[in-house]
Amino acid sequence: MAMVLSDEQKILRDTARTFLQTSAPIDQLRRLRDEASADGFDRKTWESVVEMGWTGVLVPEDHGGVGMGHVAAGVIAEEMGRTLMASPYLSTAVMGATAVVGYGSASQCNKWLPPLAAGSLNVAVAVDEGRSHSPASISTTAQPTERGFRISGSKFFVADGHVADLILVSARSAGGPNDTNGISLFLVPSAASGIEIQRQTMVDSRNSATVRLEGVEVDAETLLGEAGAGYSALEHVLDAGRACLAAEMSGSAQQCLAQTVDYITTRQQFGQPIGSFQALQHRAAHLFAEIEIGRSAVIRALQALDAASDDRSLIVSVAKSKVGWVAQLAAQEAIQMHGGIGMTDELNIGFFLKRVRVAEALYGDTNFHADKFARLRNY
């Protein structure tokens, strides 16, 4: 597949860029932070996003979506990364949709996809239980009951968990602590009895939540896919999230470089623009090269998701690891090249540094994916 955007995708990109820079510039995130917004995102902007169909980007048309695929979903994420728009897009439109579309029964699809595409259903993915990402290391249990399952356990770092209507929960119905077998996935309404959701504001001013499930009784209909065989579905959902996070970070990295180039072109020291100093030029040029290399990994990963490629996991790990590293370099270089002003909260770059750090950690940091890559290649 050619690694260029289709005409349709290019239109989407241009629309998204214009919309986000106008309606959700980075000052929106600053305002949400300073006002300690209860939602953590702007409902009005989100309504416009829904109207444009972005929540249905991965939902087939016969379920009310636009079914444009992962490359398109990544295009949106990349543009969101440029202005750091806060929203439940990743959890809902990318991961939630991938889960239901890919593994939902006909009745689950009918039940969940139309409201998801219509923006009336927010989804959150509850997977991690420890200090760092490790999707097979779970001790949340799902015990069979007469009408379905009883789920108990605690999930941390659940992005957008506090605004979710539906929570995708991974739980162990069999096997030991690190077994990939024995993991089941459930679509649990957040209003279910026994669920306690505690919001946590993150360093990037976005939200995540601790989700505690104490003997939550769910019926059999909540089970996504087959009992005990949910791990590969979970990996698929995570890979969709990882690829779009990489796309988002790629957008952030590009924005950091662009702002830095602007700044060093105008900032004068020693009687000339500091961007004329060769040391800064070479570092900016190196960063450009790294960003371009990262961009290729992102588009390849999104294409691998669309093509359901056998190499999907390996390619996604390349993208998440590489771009996670590149985006941090971009934010750090941006701060350093801005000098004194780079240290301040007033400059927007700090928001990028913080968001990139969280996005990099989410669903596996750059080391996690490097290690995963090596294991996939048997070393």
Partner 1 sequence: MRQPLREENDAVWGGRNPTFKSNEQKVWLERTVEKGWTAPEWPVKYGGGGLSKSEGKILREEMKALSARPPLMSFGVWMLGPALLKYGTEAQKQTHLPPITRGEIRWAQGYSEPNSGSDLASLMTRCELHGDHYLINGQKIWTSYGHKADWIFVLVRTDFEAAKHDGISLVLVDMAQPGVTTRPIKLLSGMSHFCETFFDDARCKVDNVVGDLNRGWTVAKYLLTHEREMIGGSAIGRAAMRPLSEIVTQQVGLNELGVLSDLVLRTDVVRTEIDSLAFLWTTERVADEAKAGQGVGAMSAMLKYSGTELNKRRYELMMYSAGHDALTLGHEANLARDWLRTKGNSIEGGTSEIQLNIIAKRILGLPSA
Contacts (CB under 8 A) with partner 1, residues 273-302: 273-282, 284-286, 288-289, 292-297, 299-300
Q: Which residues contact 300 (CB under 8 A, 6 or more apart)?
A: 3, 315, 318, 319
Q: Could you tell which of partner 1, a copy of itself, none binds residue 342, using a CB distance below 5 to 8 A set by kind?
A: partner 1
> Between 251 and 270, how does the x/- string for binding to partner 1 read (CB under 8 A)?
------x---x--xx--xxx
In Å, what is the CA distance from 378 to each residue of 71, 179, 242, 253? 29, 19, 22, 31
| Residue among 377, 375, 369, 379 at smallest CA distance from 297 | 369
Pick the binder of partner 1 from 19, 157, 186, 263 (CB under 8 A). 157
By CB under 8 A, tell whether 307 contacts partner 1.
no
| Residue among 105, 108, 85 at smallest CA distance from 252 | 85
| Cα–Cα distance measured from residue 299 to residue 318, given in angstroms and rounded to the nearest whole number | 11
Q: Which stretch binds partner 1 (CB under 8 A): 51-59, 110-118, 171-179, 316-324?
A: 316-324
Pick the binder of a copy of itself from 44, 147, 282, 375 (CB under 8 A). 282
By CB under 8 A, tell whether 186 contacts partner 1.
no
Q: Could you tell which of partner 1, a copy of itself, none binds residue 333, using a CB distance below 5 to 8 A set by kind?
A: none
Q: Which stretch binds partner 1 (CB under 8 A): 82-90, 109-117, 184-192, 201-209?
A: 201-209
- Of 193 and 272, the one with the shorter C-beta distance to a copy of itself is 272
Mapped onto helix, strand or coil, the DSSP state of residue 133 is: coil
Beta-strand pair 166-172/123-126: parallel
Q: How far is the CB of 333 from a copy of itself (least distance, A)?
A: 14
Q: Which residues contact 264 (CB under 8 A, 6 or more apart)?
A: 273, 274, 275, 280, 284, 337
Q: Which residues contact 198 (CB under 8 A, 6 or more apart)?
A: 162, 209, 210, 211, 212
Neighbour-count burial of 51, counting CB atoms closer than 10 A to its CB (0-12 exposed, 13-18 middle, 19+ buried)? exposed
In Å, what is the CA distance from 361 to each residue of 134, 191, 277, 321, 324? 11, 28, 34, 10, 8
- Of 156 and 231, the one with the shorter C-beta distance to partner 1 is 156
Q: Which residues contact 372 (CB under 8 A, 6 or more apart)?
A: 313, 317, 364
- Of 93 and 280, the one with the shorter C-beta distance to a copy of itself is 280
| Cα–Cα distance measured from residue 186 to residue 167, given in angstroms and rounded to the nearest whole number | 8
Q: How far is the CB of 358 from partner 1 (least distance, A)?
A: 5
- Of 120 and 336, the one with the shorter C-beta distance to partner 1 is 336
| Residue among 135, 130, 123, 205 at smallest CA distance from 168 | 123
Interacting positions 30-89 with partner 1 (CB under 8 A): none
Q: Say how many residues touch a copy of itself, by CB under 8 A.
A: 6
By CB under 8 A, tell whether 202 contacts partner 1.
yes
| Cα–Cα distance measured from residue 72 to residue 39, given in angstroms and rounded to the nearest whole number | 26
Q: How far is the CB of 376 from a copy of itself (least distance, A)?
A: 23
By CB under 8 A, tell whether 379 contacts a copy of itself.
no
Q: Which stretch binds a copy of itself (CB under 8 A): 67-75, 216-224, 239-247, 280-288?
A: 280-288
By CB under 8 A, tell whether 277 contacts a copy of itself.
yes
> Two tokens at 95?
């991961």
Mapped onto helix, strand or coil, the DSSP state of residue 93 is: helix
By CB under 8 A, tell whether 281 contacts a copy of itself.
yes
Give the largest CA-CA distance in the chain. Answer: 79
Q: How far is the CB of 175 from partner 1 (least distance, A)?
A: 19
- Of 245 and 274, the one with the shorter C-beta distance to partner 1 is 274
By CB under 8 A, tell whether 333 contacts partner 1.
no
Pick the binder of a copy of itself from 178, 193, 272, 278 (CB under 8 A). 278
Residues that bind a copy of itself (CB under 8 A): 277-282
